[in-house]
Structure 1
Amino acid sequence: MRKFATIFFLAITTVCFGQRTIQFADSIRKAYNIPEISYAVIDAKSTLEIAALGRHSVNLPDTATLNDRFHIGSNTKAMTGFIIAKYVEEGKLQWTTKFFEVFPEWKENSKPEYANITLQDLLSHRAGIWPFQGENDPEIPDFKGTKQEKREQFGRFVLTLEPIFPDKQNPFIYSNAGYTLATLMLEKRTGKSWEQLVDKVFNKDLKLNVEFSWPENQKQKDTWGHSYENGKLIPVPSTVDYHLDYTEPAGDINIKLKDYIKFIQLNLQGLNGENNYLKADTYEFIHKGIENYSIGWFNIFENGKEFSTHSGTARTYYSLVQIDRINGKAYIIFTNSFSQDTQQGVKLLMRKLKENYGS
C-alpha cells in the first residue's frame, strides 16, 4: 500500500509540475516574442514532461504540435560525434588518429602547425582550425562538385589558413570547420558521405527520422524559422537558399522533439553504464573525456554538479539541451526563432525546468 501511495504521490507531483511549467513556458513564449516553443524533461527511460506551445509562424494560424520539426544548429555536432564514435568502436579510426595519416597527400600544402592534429583534437576544438562561424571569415572560393567533393576542397583550403591555437584564456577555439575536417576523415575511411552515414545511423539503425537543412514548410504544415531584422521577426520559408559553407556536419540537421528525445536517452543510458548502440565507455569519453569541451558537448563541472550542454542556431531556430549527469535527467528546449529575446526566454525556461525537477 505504501509503495502504491508513493507512486501515486509522484504521479500527482509530476502532473502539477507539468501544469505549472506549461503556463510558465507559454507566458515566456508570449513575453519574449517566440512563435513556438517545444520542450521536454526526460530521464533514461521515460519522458517526465513534454509540451508544444504556440504557432508555426508569426504569420500563420497553424498550431504547434509534437510532430513539428526543428533545425537544431550546432546540436548537430553531438550527432556527428556520435556517428564517428560508432566507427571508432568498429576500428575504422581511433580518437588519436592524426589527420595526415588519413590524408598524407594534403600535408605538403598545409600549414606545418597542423602536422599532428588528431581526430579528437578536431572534435574538441583543440586543433587551431579557423572558426567559420559566419562572421569575419576568410573569403571562401567557389567550390564545385557534390557536397562531399566541396567539403574536401574546403578542407584543403582551411588547412592553408593560419591556425588559432588555444591558450590559458581560451582552452579551446570553437570551430565549425574542425567538424568538417573530422568528417572528412570518417568519409575517407568508410567510403560513405556524411549524408549517407547520417541516414544509416539515425534513420536506418535507430529509426529517428532525421532530415537535413530547414524543415519543409512549403508542401506541408510545419515550423518556419524566424530571423530577426529591424526589431521584427521575419518568417523564413524552407525554399530559401541556405548552406553552411561546407560545414554541414557542424550544424545542419532537423528533427522532431520526440525523436531527439530518443537520441538523448541513449546518451543518458550510456552515462548510467549501459551499453546500447554505443558502449558505455564510449559515452563516458564523449561527454567527459576531454576538459571543457569533449566530443560535441560542453563538459561542465561546477558547484558540485555535472552537465553536458549545448545550444544550436543558424539564426532562425534556437535549441538548448542540458544533461544532468548526476541526477540522470535531461532538459530539451526547441524554438523557431533567434534573437536576444529568444535566448533570454529559453534561459528562463531552462532554469524553471531544472528547479522543478531537482537539478
Structure 2
Amino acid sequence: MARMTAASTPDRRLCVAPMMDWTDRHCRAFHRVLTREALLYTEMAVDKAVIHGDRDKLIGFDPAEHPVAIQLGGSDPADLAKASRIAGGFGYIEINLNVGCPSDRVQSGRFGACLMQEPALVADCVKAMQDAVSLPVTVKCRIGVDEQDPEVALFDFVETVAAAGVTSFTVHARKAWLKGLSPKENRTVPPLDYDLVRRLKAQRPELEIILNGGLETLEQGLAETVPLDGMMLGRAAYHTPWILAEADSRLFGKADPVASRVEAVDAYRPYLESQLGKGTRLHDMTRHMLGLFTGQPGARLWRRILSEKAPKRGAGLEVIDEALAAVVPHDEAA
C-alpha cells in the first residue's frame, strides 16, 4: 500500500513523470517491481472524461501500484472539483494539475501549458480541487510559455497559485512554445534552466519544489536538485527503466526490491499472467519493458523478440521466455 511521510504527504524525492500513452497501469506495475518507493503518476486524465467516461478503464489502478498519484487536465474549477472527488474515491494519494503539456489538443481545451498565462484561473482551479478533496493538490508547470520572461512568469505564477494553497510544484525547467514547436520538440528544443528553478526555491523555501526536464540518471538528478526537494524522471525512466532499480537504496535508505534485470522480469511475471487471463494483450504490457536491457549485450535481440512476437494474436508468456533465453547468457547482472 501507499508509503507516505508524516501528515499523509507523499514522499516526492523521486517521481516518475506522467507521460501520455506511456505511464498507463501496465507501465506503473512494471516500474513498481523496480522501485517500491518512487511516486508514480498516471497519464494525464481530462476532467470531463473522468466525469462522463468509463472511469474504471480510464483511471482504475491496482493498489499494488501505490504510492501513485493522478494527473488531471482541465481549466474549469467545477469540473476539476468533480473529477478530483472521483479520483479521490479511487484511492489516489495526490491529485496533480497539468499546467505543462504543450500539445495542440490540450491547447484547444484551454488547459496544459497555456494556463501559465492565466495564473488566477489556475488558482481558482486548485482552490476548487482542494475544497473537494482532502488529498494534496499539486501543480506541474513549465518556466513560461512563448514570449514570457521566465524570470517573471514563473515567479508570478507560483506566487499566485501558492496563495491559493498549493505547497508543492513540479517544474519542467523549459519554456513551452505553443506555436512553432511540436510537443516532441517542446521536450528537447527549448533550453533547460535549472538555475532558475533553484532560484525559485531560494525565494520560496517554504514550498516543495521538484525538478523535471532533461534528467537522465539518478546521479544527475541528485546533483541538480541541491537544494531542491526532489526529482521527476520522465523519458529516462521509461527508456532505461533499470535506473529505477537502485533508487530505493540510494534515495530512501531502503532495500532495492530486485537485484538483476532477470529478477525484475520474474517479479513482473505474475502481473503479466494475471492480465493475460483478463484478456489483456501481451504487447500492451511488454512494450513498457523494451528498454530493460538497454546498454547490455543482447539488448537488441530482447527488443526485437518482444517487438515482433508480443503483438501477435494469442501471444503469451512463452514470448518472454524466448526473449530471456536469448539475453540471459549475456546478462552480467543476472
Same fold (TM over 0.5): no
TM-score of the superposed pair, with normalisation by structure 1: 0.26
Q: If each structure's strand is expressed as a fraction of its own residues, which one has the higher value?
A: 1
| Higher alpha-carbon Rg | 1
Q: If each structure's helix is expressed as a fraction of its own residues, which one has the higher value?
A: 2
